[in-house]
Structures are given as C-alpha cells and as structure tokens.
Amino acid sequence: MKHPVRRFKSLSVALKELEPFIRDGFHLQSGKPFKSFGDLRSRELLANWLLCVVMNADGGGPFEFTTDPTGGDGVIIDTSTDQTWLTEHVMVASVEAKRDKPVEDRILEQIGNKVARGGAAYAGGKTLLVFNNAAGGLWYPNRVARTLPNPLHFDTVWVIGLQEVVDGAYVYGVTNLSQVAGANCPTFRVRLTSGFDEWFVERIQ
C-alpha cells in the first residue's frame, strides 16, 4: 500500500495482542479506540483478524489487515497482489432491553442503519462487518441474506460473533451473507486455543 498505515507483524502477533481484550468481553463492546492503531476498537481489530484467518483458510491470500488512512475501520489486504478491501463495522450490542427482540431483526436493523447512513457514496466498494455481541439467540444466515436491504450498496456483508468458550478456547462463528444460485451462506467456525497461540478454521456450510 502507498499510504502510511499500521499493521501487526503477523496474525499470530495480532492474536496475542488481542488476547486480553477478547478475554475481557466488556472491552469488545465498549472499549475506547486505540489511538496508536488508527482509532480502531478492539472488536474491529478482532473482526478484521477473524476475516483474514477465514479467507486464508479458504484458499486465498495470504491476507492481513491494516489501519485505513481514509478514516475507515481497517483495510484487508491480499499481500500476494496488494489488492485491498476497505471495511466498515457495526455492532449488535448486548443490551438487556433488547434481548426480547430476535437477533436476526437486530442484525438487519444495524445493517439497514449503515446502508442508510450514506447510500452508495458511503458504502460502495466496501465490506461491512457486523460484530454480533447479542447475548444468546439463534439466527439463520440464509434467512437474513434473503432480507438484506436492496440496494445493499456494500460489496458484501460478514457477521461475526462468539459462539462458545470451552476449556479456555474461544469459538467464533464467521458468516458471509452471500448466496450463489440458492446455495447456503458460507459459514465458518474459528477456534482460538486456550493459550491464544494457535487457531483452527472449519467450514461448516
């Protein structure tokens, strides 16, 4: 990239740096931006990291992420080609007052808010990442994908959220809300080992 940006030395280094914020779920929801890393928040760094490891496991890249010199929420970069994707982020927060509202509705509401923010001029050419921090509640990616705003303006939308913590290992779901010829939305599980020194990616649909 030709613009001055910040990036981690590797995805492994990034994971260790993010470990305390992942363990502290409150920071992911309400922690302040990091001035030293382009004013990105911990949840935005984590979401960009998860997207990179999923795309790497799916046969692309290698992908990394950097700060965005234009003021966005980070840039995904294919280091083999220098192709880049600007990202915008939004969060479905864990709010007691909204726990009776279906998670699917809350995801769509946040996507709709982002689309309405600036239309094509704002969203065009960008990837939207939804950090689903809602406490519990099933949601069905295919159903959400069929009811996305039209026009969407964003190139694509990913939804990322914690699924479970088992023996110190954190498991995240990463779903791309795109369907090709009626196929299921690509969905992955990313397991971070308890020591935060390894990760494993499994495509589940």
Q: Which single residue is written with the structure tokens 């700060």? A: 67
- Residue 4 included in any domain: no
Looking at per-residue pLDDT, the higher value among 112 and 137 belongs to 112
- For the CA atoms of 141, 127, 198, 64, the dihedral, rounded to the nearest 10 degrees, stands at 160
- Residue 25's domain spans which residues? 11-203
- Residue 128 included in any domain: yes
- Residue 3 included in any domain: no
pLDDT of the residue at 2: 57
d(CA 44, CA 71): 13
What's the pLDDT tens digit per position in 14-71?
A: 999 999 999 998 999 999 999 999 999 999 999 999 999 999 999 888 999 999 998 9
Q: Find the distance separating the first CA and the last CA of the chain, reported in whole Å.
A: 33
- Residue 199 included in any domain: yes
d(CA 20, CA 36): 17
- Residue 5 included in any domain: no
How much is the mean pLDDT over the chain? 92
pTM to 2 decimal places = 0.94
Q: Within 13 Å of residue 155, how many CA atoms lie on the same side as its CB?
A: 9
- Residue 1 included in any domain: no
- Residue 61 included in any domain: yes
Number of domains in the chain: 1
| Mean pLDDT value across residues 173-199 | 91
- Residue 6 included in any domain: no
